[in-house]
Chain A
């Protein structure tokens, strides 16, 4: 909260999260004061292990927490100068912020094309405009066009991930919150998807906040990174710097100055000592 006023540049901030605390079911404290920022037109990666709070952070922004009995109890979330932490997902999507959920969540019984069309629900546009948006999505995901009449439940994991991102694109978002796009996908497909993300970022000017466990790939495509541990941001910085950082290398990439290390040797308590003390 103080940082925004201190620097006096709140106006040209894009998405700012100020010290939020999230509690599930009134008792489980998941985020213990997370602050982060996504500048316009950038890709920001949110990294960390399982249960660090990446998904929770994204859901706090997109306001999908309510349906999971989670609640933002402290702090605030500001998008383009407006507080958005009490808005419904519907209002938020209309403002240009949309989440692609972890595990893809396509509508299994709808065809891929119907899935995409659903994405444009909030826009209420004419048939020709709808067609144009579809073509735009098919331009980035030619594979979806080939299989457009297939029920989403019968497509591969990669195609479902593309469908989920494409569906979000149909809402004409300014900012996509992308939760774990690499989950359960072959490395080649992961590359393909990240390439498309970069493409969208450059040609459609969509900003991304992506939560990833695959640190190496995420840092390669992102501009900036935050590392979450136990519901706190323990490190942040330029993606290239993070990728070069010794601690990050050791804890997340399994590399150290002594060469490759086995996972067992990376002692958990050391990480605690260095980052959490």
Chain B
């Protein structure tokens, strides 16, 4: 039982890490209906920029603000150069554009800061919490718990923002119907700039947490792939869905690895989430919390 709990908690917490990346996808998809393939590259860009600025001798908070600024600039640039000329194009064209953007952002990050792997220390150790270890015998990493806390704050803030603010409402309106939003005077360009900036911020947070965990390296780009099953499970349009999806994927992949892996030779946690996503698509294609497609008949 103790072992089961430890695996479960470890899985849930690693799921939070996936949620961070999934969140970025959700934000942009929600507000512009674009599946932003470049989200992984943005995570990489953000982490590398942050570390690069840190290495120049700027203190932590200063680097955080500067890196955020860089992400905002990247977002505004994307809106101006990539999205604006493509208004009213089919979604697939926008999707292709974001694939192009991926390679550009990857290249830009490495051109600016070099391609070597860097360490990142957020000052929180990846070690079990002692009193918990002593009282219950379950090892829970301090770092994982910290990441979960950050995720909770981030999601609450985003959910409130989308639900109750004027700009948040406008973001959802734009996602539903560009033309109608335009007709009532919502400036699409401003909205898109805001949403890309927010997605950039989420990418930065994801980059910091992943970077501190695994080192700031090119492999961060592939975090985006792990976010896909999370999105399919949670729904592309739901902020809480990204978190719940992450938790489910994280915990089941670890549990499957531990309890089922032995029968098939192990290593199943790398593909198990995708099988789950596939099965899920058959049953509930809009995801657990995704918006149902409303069609009047």
Residues of A within 8 A of B (CB): 62, 64, 67-69, 88-90, 92-94, 98-101, 105-110, 114-115, 117-122, 124, 151, 153-154, 157, 164, 167-168, 171
Contact of A114 among B169, B180, B184 (CB under 8 A): B169
**Sample of 27 A–B contacts (CB below 8 Å):** A64-B179, A64-B182, A67-B87, A68-B88, A89-B185, A90-B185, A98-B183, A101-B180, A105-B179, A105-B180, A106-B177, A107-B172, A108-B176, A108-B294, A109-B294, A110-B169, A110-B173, A117-B169, A119-B184, A121-B185, A122-B185, A122-B186, A153-B294, A157-B296, A167-B184, A171-B184, A171-B185
Contacts of A164 in B (CB 8 A): 180
Nearest CB of chain B from residue A223's CB, rounded to whole Å: 25
In the complex, B127 has a CB within 8 A of chain A: no
Contacts of A120 in B (CB 8 A): 166
Contacts of A89 in B (CB 8 A): 182-183, 185
Q: How far is the CA of A109 from the CA of B294 in the complex (A)?
A: 8
Q: How far is the CA of A67 from the CA of B185 in the complex (A)?
A: 13
Contact indicator A106/B180 (Cβ below 8 Å):
yes
Leading 6 A-B pairs by shortest Cβ distance: A93-B185, A153-B294, A105-B180, A107-B176, A122-B185, A90-B187
In the complex, B142 has a CB within 8 A of chain A: no
Q: How far is the CA of A108 from the CA of B176 in the complex (A)?
A: 7
Contact of A64 among B172, B183, B291, B296 (CB under 8 A): B183
Q: How far is the CA of A239 from the CA of B194 in the complex (A)?
A: 47
On whether A121 and B179 interact (CB within 8 A), knowing A68-B88, A109-B291, A110-B172, the answer reads no
Contact of B184 among A98, A124, A151, A153 (CB under 8 A): A98
Q: Please classify how large the interface on chain B is, using the bins under 10, 10 to 19, 20 to 34, 35 or more.
A: 20 to 34
On whether A67 and B179 interact (CB within 8 A), knowing A90-B185, A90-B186, A108-B294, the answer reads yes
Q: How far is the CA of A1 from the CA of B173 in the complex (A)?
A: 39
Q: How far is the CA of A157 from the CA of B186 in the complex (A)?
A: 24
Q: How far is the CA of A110 from the CA of B169 in the complex (A)?
A: 8
Contact indicator B88/A110 (Cβ below 8 Å):
no
Q: How far is the CA of A88 from the CA of B182 in the complex (A)?
A: 9
Contacts of B291 in A (CB 8 A): 109
Contacts of B296 in A (CB 8 A): 153, 157
Nearest CB of chain A from residue B168's CB, rounded to whole Å: 10
In the complex, B178 has a CB within 8 A of chain A: yes
Instruction: Return the chain A residue nearest B182 by Cβ.
Output: A89
In the complex, B170 has a CB within 8 A of chain A: yes
Instruction: Return the chain B residue nearest A99 by Cβ.
Output: B183
Contact indicator A154/B294 (Cβ below 8 Å):
yes
Which of B87, B88, B296 counts the most chain A CB atoms within 10 A? B296
Contact indicator A168/B179 (Cβ below 8 Å):
no
User: Please, what's the 1-or-0 string for B67-93, where 1 marks a CB less than 8 Å from any CB in chain A?
Assistant: 000000000000000000001100000
Nearest CB of chain A from residue B68's CB, rounded to whole Å: 25
Nearest CB of chain A from residue B84's CB, rounded to whole Å: 11
User: Please, what's the 1-or-0 string for B153-195, where 1 marks a CB less than 8 Å from any CB in chain A?
Assistant: 0000000000000100110110111111111111100000000
Contact of B185 among A98, A105, A115, A117 (CB under 8 A): A98
Q: How far is the CA of A23 from the CA of B206 in the complex (A)?
A: 47
On whether A118 and B186 interact (CB within 8 A), knowing A67-B87, A69-B88, the answer reads yes
Q: How far is the CA of A17 from the CA of B87 in the complex (A)?
A: 27
On whether A109 and B172 interact (CB within 8 A), knowing A67-B87, A153-B296, the answer reads yes
Q: How far is the CA of A90 from the CA of B191 in the complex (A)?
A: 12
Contacts of B170 in A (CB 8 A): 118, 121
Instruction: Return the chain A residue nearest B185 by Cβ.
Output: A93
20 other contacts beyond A88-B187, A114-B169, with CB at 8 A cut-off?
Answer: A64-B182, A64-B183, A67-B182, A68-B88, A93-B185, A98-B185, A99-B183, A101-B183, A107-B172, A107-B180, A108-B177, A108-B294, A109-B172, A117-B166, A117-B169, A118-B184, A122-B186, A124-B166, A151-B294, A157-B296
Contacts of B87 in A (CB 8 A): 67
Instruction: Return the chain B residue nearest A125 by Cβ.
Output: B166
Contacts of A67 in B (CB 8 A): 87-88, 178-179, 182
Contacts of B187 in A (CB 8 A): 88, 90
User: Please, what's the 1-or-0 string for B272-286, where 1 marks a CB less than 8 Å from any CB in chain A?
Assistant: 000000000000000
Contacts of B177 in A (CB 8 A): 105-108
Beta-carbon contacts under 8 Å, B94-145 to A: none
Nearest CB of chain A from residue B295's CB, rounded to whole Å: 8
Q: How far is the CA of A67 from the CA of B173 in the complex (A)?
A: 17
Nearest CB of chain A from residue B112's CB, rounded to whole Å: 35
Contact indicator A94/B185 (Cβ below 8 Å):
yes
Contact indicator A109/B183 (Cβ below 8 Å):
no
Contact of B186 among A68, A106, A110, A121 (CB under 8 A): A121
Contacts of B179 in A (CB 8 A): 64, 67, 101, 105
Contacts of A68 in B (CB 8 A): 88
